[in-house]
Structure 1
Amino acid sequence: MLEGVNVALGVSGSIAAVKVVELAHELRRRGASVRAVMTESAQSIVHPWAVEFATDDDVVTDITGRVEHVELCGRDGWADVFLVAPATANTVGKIASAVDDTPVTTCATTALGADVPVVVAPAMHEPMYDHPGVLDAIDRVQSWGVSFVDPRVEEGKAKIATEDAICLDVARAAGDRPLENRHVVVTSGATSERIDPVRVLTNRASGRTGRAVARACYVRGADVTLVHDGDDAPYATVERVESAAEMLDATLDACRDADALVSAAAISDYTVEPSPEKIRSGQELTLDLEPTPKLIDEVRETHPDLAIVGFKAETSGEDDEMLEQACKTLKRARLSFVVANDASVMGGEDTRALLVDADEHTEFTGTKTGLGLRIADELARVLGRQND
Structure 2
Amino acid sequence: MLEGVNVALGVTGSIAAVKTVELAHELRRRGAEVRGVMTDSAQGIVHPWAVEFATDNDVVTEITGEVEHVDLCGYDGWADVFLIAPATANTVGKIAAAVDDTPVTTCATTALGADTPVVIAPAMHEPMYDHPGVLEAIDTVSEWGVEFVDPRIEEGKAKIASEEAIVCDVARAAGERPLEGDHVVVTSGATAESIDPVRVLTNRSSGKMGRAVARACYVRGADVTLVHGVVGPRPLASDPERGDVPYADVRQVETAAEMLEATREACDGADTLVSAAAIGDYTTEERAEKLRSGQERTLELEPTSKLIDEIRDERPDLPIVGFKTETSGDETAMIEQARATLERTGLAFVVANDASVMGADETRALLVHAEDAARFEGTKAGLGGEIAESIAAILAP
The TM-score, its normalising length taken from structure 2, stands at: 0.96
Alpha-carbon distance between aligned partners in 1 of 2:382 and 2:176, rounded to the nearest angstrom:
16
Indicate the residue corresponding to 1:53 in structure 2. 53
Indicate the residue corresponding to 1:235 in structure 2. 247
Question: 2:98 aligned with 1:86, yes or no?
Answer: no
Letter in 1 for 2:172: R
After the TM superposition, which residues 230-269 of structure 1 pair with which residues of structure 2 at under 5 Å, given as runs?
230-231=236-237, 232-269=244-281
Indicate the residue corresponding to 2:101 in structure 1. 101
Matched residue of 1:49: which SS? helix
Cα deviations by residue, 1:252-310 (Å, 9 ceiling, x for unpaired): 10001100000000000001111122122222211111100110010111111111000
Matched residue of 1:184: which SS? strand
Alignment coverage as a number of residue pairs: 385
Shift of 1:194: 0.7
After the TM superposition, which residues 268-279 of structure 1 pair with which residues of structure 2 at under 5 Å, given as runs?
268-279=280-291
Matched residue of 1:256: which SS? coil
Indicate the residue corresponding to 1:224 in structure 2. 224
Alpha-carbon distance between aligned partners in 1 of 2:276 and 2:43, rounded to the nearest angstrom:
46
Indicate the residue corresponding to 1:196 in structure 2. 196
Indicate the residue corresponding to 1:334 in structure 2. 346
Shift of 1:132: 1.5
Cα deviations by residue, 1:88-111 (Å, 9 ceiling, x for unpaired): 111111111111111101101110
Indicate the residue corresponding to 2:180 in structure 1. 180
Alpha-carbon distance between aligned partners in 1 of 2:264 and 2:81, rounded to the nearest angstrom:
37
Letter in 2 for 1:51: V
Identity among equivalent positions (%) equals 76
Alpha-carbon distance between aligned partners in 2 of 1:153 and 1:136, rounded to the nearest angstrom:
19
Indicate the residue corresponding to 2:149 in structure 1. 149
- Assess if the C-alpha contact under 8 Å between 2:164 and 2:246 holds in 1: no
Indicate the residue corresponding to 1:26 in structure 2. 26
Letter in 1 for 2:277: A
Letter in 2 for 1:222: A
Candidates 292, 303, 310, aligned match of 1:291: 303
Alpha-carbon distance between aligned partners in 2 of 1:65 and 1:198, rounded to the nearest angstrom:
70
Indicate the residue corresponding to 1:36 in structure 2. 36
Matched residue of 2:267: which SS? helix
- In the alignment, structure 1 segments of 5+ residues that lack a partner are none
Letter in 2 for 1:177: R
Indicate the residue corresponding to 1:316 in structure 2. 328
Question: 2:122 aligned with 1:119, yes or no?
Answer: no
Alpha-carbon distance between aligned partners in 2 of 1:102 and 1:71, rounded to the nearest angstrom:
16
Alpha-carbon distance between aligned partners in 2 of 1:375 and 1:206, rounded to the nearest angstrom:
18
Letter in 2 for 1:288: E
Letter in 2 for 1:55: T
Question: 2:317 aligned with 1:305, yes or no?
Answer: yes
- In the alignment, structure 2 segments of 5+ residues that lack a partner are 230-235, 238-243
**CA RMSD in angstroms, aligned pairs only:** 0.8
Alpha-carbon distance between aligned partners in 2 of 1:140 and 1:224, rounded to the nearest angstrom:
26
Letter in 1 for 2:264: L
Letter in 1 for 2:53: F
Shift of 1:172: 0.6
The TM-score, its normalising length taken from structure 1, stands at: 0.98
Alpha-carbon distance between aligned partners in 2 of 1:359 and 1:146, rounded to the nearest angstrom:
43
Matched residue of 2:317: which SS? coil
Matched residue of 1:322: which SS? helix
Alpha-carbon distance between aligned partners in 2 of 1:287 and 1:98, rounded to the nearest angstrom:
69
Matched residue of 1:35: which SS? strand
Matched residue of 1:127: which SS? helix
Alpha-carbon distance between aligned partners in 2 of 1:110 and 1:198, rounded to the nearest angstrom:
60
- Assess if the C-alpha contact under 8 Å between 2:309 and 2:345 holds in 1: yes
Shift of 1:29: 1.1
Cα deviations by residue, 1:29-58 (Å, 9 ceiling, x for unpaired): 111110110000000000101111111111
Matched residue of 2:27: which SS? helix
Alpha-carbon distance between aligned partners in 2 of 1:241 and 1:156, rounded to the nearest angstrom:
30
Letter in 2 for 1:307: P
Q: Which moved more, 1:128-137 or 1:252-261?
A: 128-137
Matched residue of 1:51: which SS? helix
Alpha-carbon distance between aligned partners in 2 of 1:283 and 1:96, rounded to the nearest angstrom:
71
Indicate the residue corresponding to 2:391 in structure 1. 379
